[in-house]
Amino acid sequence: MPGCLQSLRDQDYPGEYEVIVVDNGSTDGTAEVARRLGAIVVHCLEKGVAFARQAGLESARGEIVVQCDADSVVPRNWLSKIARHFETHAEDVGLSGDAKYRGEPLWHRPLSLINRWLNQISYWCLRHPMSILAGNFAARREALIAVGGYDLAFPQCGDEFDLLLRLAKTGRISYDPHLMVETSSRRFRRRFWQFLLADTFYHTALGLLFHRLTGKPIKGSRRDVRDEALVVRTWPWASRLRFATPVVLVLLVGALAYGFFMPSAEAFGKLYFATKTHEKVVALTFDDGPNEPYTSQVLDILQQYDIKATFFVVGKNVAYYPETAKRIVAEGHVLGNHSWDHSALQPIVDVREVDLAKSQATIEKIAGVRPHLFRPPFGHKTPWQMEQLEKHGMVVVTWNVSANDPKQPPSSVIAERIIKHTKPGAIILLHDGNETIHGADRSNTIAVLPQIIDTLNKEGYTFVTVPELLKVDPYLR
């Protein structure tokens, strides 16, 4: 704390500035030290860093409000650099910098690097960084006041992230990786589990999601950095557990990757990749259409064999080939939703499933049906996406037999992969399109489709639609 104040006093900034220290119930004489070093001391009785930040903001009088954690030391040109930035960037409402952690534990180093990349990428794409590191942040006071300051629903964690999102709506928030402060890594030391599970996952990620969905703060309070010694003492196995950390981390990442990538993984919610039955019934499904002339060719073949199939269509393609979408329904096949534009990022970033709604509306407007089935592009899923799908009453369908035919291997390979792996109750994945590419070549799939049908017919299989296989309604309402 004295180090921080000293570095704030030694600034080369020629203009006027005030230093406000928020005393958040400290017991170590912080207020006294601060006063002696010429700072204004504001008392804040509520525990929680957001309350302290808000109290500081409310008592600040300057045009630019700069925040800093008490265990950081800032470089001599910190304020002048910040002031110059706001002078030369009139459109900016905020500026965020980076942090160097003294004695940073090994496990935190890759996270620092990832944080830095995320900030840079977020700044390029969204015009604001992803996070504020070690409180190293400055903003125009009137912009902060206009958005209502810190949301006290996040007293411990996530308040800065929430502020970034709201502030970014009023203007750009720059990210300058060279605006560096040096800070203590006290907050991370011997606190790996608390950092990962409590701070990062529960209070920040879940807390924000919970607040966004329900408008209420998440339950429970996070231990303050000051209570850290207490945490270590009351948790004697902490040091022993540290050795298990890499193993658990690998398992955790593995489990998340499995849930995300595996089409049959139900880690994040209920889905169907096949059905259990002894009857020799299977469902043929075609993804990524409509895509001409191939979708029409598939429909011709199905008509010839009098087989009904399920088409997981891409909303954008439906808008491009409306007549084909209508024909699919008119000939008794089922339309399922396969996203608006087959974006790989959609399950991660589209928290509210805007994409799903857009695709549903397009399909309904053109083909006159409101799909009950959804197939996530690439079979990739996230917990929040699965939750939204369930909320909208959608049935999530993936597959258990596939030929990897978007890459159009030779017809013989497609046939072999499908026929060899088909068992009673299978959901077979084929492609009449390729994402949103118009006219993507599907000729190998088309050429081998009659052979697949013939062979499976001979083996005693009958073809049904996915809703028939799963015994669910094909459409909503």
Active site residues: 287, 431
- Which lies closer to Zn ion via its Cβ, residue 23 or residue 292? 292
Residue closer to Zn ion by CB (options 347, 377) is 377
CB nearer Zn ion, residue 288 or residue 350: 288
Q: How far is the CB of 372 from Zn ion (least distance, A)?
A: 18
Shortest distance in whole angstroms from residue 390 CB to Zn ion: 21
Closer by beta carbon to Zn ion, 296 or else 346: 346
Min CB(468)–Zn ion separation in Å: 22
Which is nearer to Zn ion, 78 or 286 (by Cβ)? 286
Minimum distance of Zn ion from residue 429's CB (angstroms) = 9
At its nearest, how many Å lie between Zn ion and the CB of residue 68?
Answer: 48
To the nearest whole angstrom, how small is the minimum distance from the Cβ of residue 298 to Zn ion? 15
Quick one: 129 or 377, whose CB is closer to Zn ion? 377
CB 126 within 8 A of CB 153: no
Could you list the residues that contact Zn ion (CB under 5 A)? 287-288, 377
